[in-house]
Every structure is written in structure tokens, then in C-alpha cells.
Amino acid sequence: MTQITEQDQFIQLLEESARKHAHLCPRQVMGVRMGLYAGEILGLEVPQEDKRLFTFIESDGCFLDGVAVSTGCSAGRRTMQVIDYGKMAATFVDILTGQAIRISPHPEGRILCRDYAPLATDRWHTYLEGYKAMPIDKLFTLESVQLTVSLKAFLSRKNARAACEKCGEEIFNEREVQVDGAVLCRSCAGQGYYVSPILVFDPLLSQTKESNFHSFR
């Protein structure tokens, strides 16, 4: 049986990320290498098949696709949470041990990558090829961190469910809140990201129309 090399795995992960994103870009390369680096530092095999590694990722888009492919973490598997700081950085947590590390781009990475892509014809390709070839210590900075949020709260309990006493909708993963003793979803508790138009019946027009007023659940 032929053993896959680290370089072969890297290429395969880049190809998978490119398929998911419809193209390959520098931020995906950064994401793939960051995820592999996190696995190496934490001593975990990635991409994972279990759910031992959890990722707090600080932006979405291309970078996230790369990290997801290389770690096996995803929102669908409830092993990734976007904390949108608009940064190409992520904190990786070993759920079993609680060890957490944050990896971010090296402050001089964009300048240093020029030395590793001498044949690149423009800045974009310099980043694309440079990020593939750079030594890991020139591409990233690494620090041990302590979480200020509860990982247990993010993970919740299996089959945790509640019903909102105002809208009646079901709430999963202990995301309900209590207001004056009532169990509410976050939207009905005033923490929503949307508003619902009120439909008003106008007897003079004999039709229903949208009010200019909105209900903040």
C-alpha cells in the first residue's frame, strides 16, 4: 500500500478547497497550511474524522474554506464557530485536553513571501505561490491562549431542545434565554438580526398591505 506524503496530502487538500470554492486563492492556501499546522502543534491527526478539534475562526470566506478542508472542522459538524473579527486568524482547541492555540499571519509574511515566489508575475501570484513554499515560522505566529468564552456552552448537550413561549418555534443547543421568567428565543428577547413586517388589513381598500411599522420580536 502506497503511503501518502505530507506534500501529496497538502496538494490534495488544496485541490479539495479549490473545488469547494470554485478556484484556488492565496487565502485558501493560508487556511490549509494553518489547519495542518494546528494539527501538528496539538498532536492531532487532521483532517479529523472525530470531533476532538474545535476551531474559532476570525473571518469567513476563502480563508475559512481552507481551514475547514485541512482540519475537518465545520459548522455543520458543530466543530467550528465564526467569531467575525475580519482577521485571517483562528484559535484551535483540543476538546479533550482544553489546550488552545491561536495562529495568525506573520506580520511580515507578505513581504517575506517574495523570496519564495521569484517567478511570480504579479502580487496575487506572489502570495499564492509564496504561501505554498514559505517555512511555517515565516508564514505564521503562534501563541498559547486561554478562552474567555465557554466551549461547553458552544457544544451544548445532545438533544437539548426548548420552545419559545412567544413565537412557539423550537430552539436547539440551549440557545434560549429567560426574560422575566419566560423562555424565549433570542429574536423574541430583542436580540434578533431581523424584523418582521406587520400585515395590516385596510377595510377601505379591501386588501392587506404591509405596515411601515415593524415588530421587534
DSSP codes joined into one string, 33-97 = HHHHHHHHHHT--SS-SSS-EEEEES--SHHHHHHHHHH---TTTT-EEE---S-S-EEEEETTT
* Residues 148 and 81 grouped into a single domain: yes
* Residues 114 and 18 grouped into a single domain: yes
* Residues 114 and 163 grouped into a single domain: no
* Residues 110 and 203 grouped into a single domain: no
Q: What is the structure's pLDDT at 18?
A: 86
188 domain-assigned: yes
* Residues 144 and 202 grouped into a single domain: no
What average pLDDT does the segment 39-64 reach? 97
d(CA 13, CA 29): 9
Residue 107 CB neighbour total at 10 angstroms: 9
Q: What is the structure's pLDDT at 211?
A: 44
Contact yes or no for 176/168 (Cβ under 8 A)? no
167 domain-assigned: yes
* Residues 92 and 192 grouped into a single domain: no
Cis peptide before 197 (omega within 30 of 0): no
Residue 108 pLDDT level (bands cut at 50, 70, 90): very high
At a CB cut-off of 8 Å and minimum separation 6, what does 54 contact? 73, 79, 80, 81, 92, 93, 95, 151, 154, 155
Residue 213 has pLDDT above 80, yes or no: no
* Residues 53 and 119 grouped into a single domain: yes
pTM (2 decimals)?
A: 0.82
| 137-156 tens-digit pLDDT | 999 999 999 999 999 888 88
Q: What is the structure's pLDDT at 189?
A: 95
* Residues 68 and 166 grouped into a single domain: no
* Residues 31 and 64 grouped into a single domain: yes
CATH of the domain at 78: 3.30.1330.130
87 domain-assigned: yes
* Residues 169 and 144 grouped into a single domain: no
| Number of domain units in the chain | 2
What average pLDDT does the segment 30-48 reach? 97
| 26-35 tens-digit pLDDT | 999 999 999 9
Residue 201 pLDDT level (bands cut at 50, 70, 90): low
Residue 4 has pLDDT above 80, yes or no: no
Contact yes or no for 33/136 (Cβ under 8 A)? yes
Q: Which domain holds residue 197?
A: 156-215
30 domain-assigned: yes
100 domain-assigned: yes
* Residues 185 and 168 grouped into a single domain: yes
* Residues 205 and 195 grouped into a single domain: yes
1 domain-assigned: no
Residue 203 has pLDDT above 50, yes or no: yes
Q: At what angle do helices 123-133 and 26-42 cross, to 10 degrees?
A: 20
| 7-27 tens-digit pLDDT | 888 888 988 888 877 889 999
Q: What is the structure's pLDDT at 212?
A: 45
